[in-house]
Amino acid sequence: MQLTDNFRQALQDYILFLNKHYPEKSIHELVSTRYALNHFERSMLYRGVTTFEKAEKRKTRLIIKEQFKHRTIHIDLFNTLFTIAAYLRGFPVYLSNDGLLRDASESHDSNEFVDHLVKSLDLLLNCLDALKIPKAVFYLDNPLHLSGMIAKQIENRAAALKTEIGIIRDESPDHLIRRATEGVLSTSDSTIIDKSTLPVFDLPRHVIESAFNPHFLNLG
């Protein structure tokens, strides 16, 4: 997928209105309709673009792998896995203007993604050991019916990993992960990032770049 001139113009207009603090949902619909954006472009506009102020603030929270220094990583697991799985399935995966990798699949039906989620988990676990992370805590959404199966997959692999593994399953784990007071976050969920004080590591980007030779669209 390429950034068309039409989408570039839509981006410019959307960012202009965002920075003037017009209502986000209203201007998203207005700009998307004005430029006849397709499904993927609409998703990229809504999830991948924020105000300059918020974008710059989030960028200051991003760290690189060399900055771990024996920290625990708190992983918003399905958020992380779906981005990797979207790449494996050929959906648009792009760098948002806040510097984080996100996907435009908008089709997070776990039935459709099951094989790719398992492959994504395998890639992720291999990366944890390669990064020499001492401890990883996985936060899983219980309502997703694949939560139990994914948790079992992690448990089966845990003994062979150098990384200590923790699993937290909850009806809505977002409030738990953003309360973590030490370590590093792995999520592209804007609400979690903005309400947390922890630095952020773009684990999906690292996993994909470690296994493949990707070219990401960059909305920045």
Q: What is the mean pLDDT of residues 94-123?
A: 86
Cα–Cα distances in angstroms (integers) from residue 40 to residues 99, 102, 110, 135, 191, in the given order: 19, 12, 19, 35, 22
- Quote the pLDDT of residue 110: 58
Only one residue has tokens 């959404």, namely 141
Summarize pLDDT for 37-96 with one digit per residue, the tens: 999 999 999 999 999 999 999 999 999 998 887 899 999 999 999 999 999 999 999 999
Summarize pLDDT for 123-169 with one digit per residue, the tens: 999 999 899 899 999 999 987 778 899 999 999 999 999 999 999 99
Per DSSP, the three-state class of 51 is coil
- Quote the pLDDT of residue 220: 85
- Quote the pLDDT of residue 129: 87
**What domains can be seen in the chain, in order of their start residue?**
5-56 (no CATH), 59-218 (3.40.50)
Q: Where are the alpha helices (DSSP H) in the chain?
A: 5-19, 24-34, 39-48, 52-59, 77-89, 110-130, 147-158, 174-177, 190-195, 203-211
Summarize pLDDT for 192-210 with one digit per residue, the tens: 999 999 999 999 999 999 9
- Quote the pLDDT of residue 144: 76
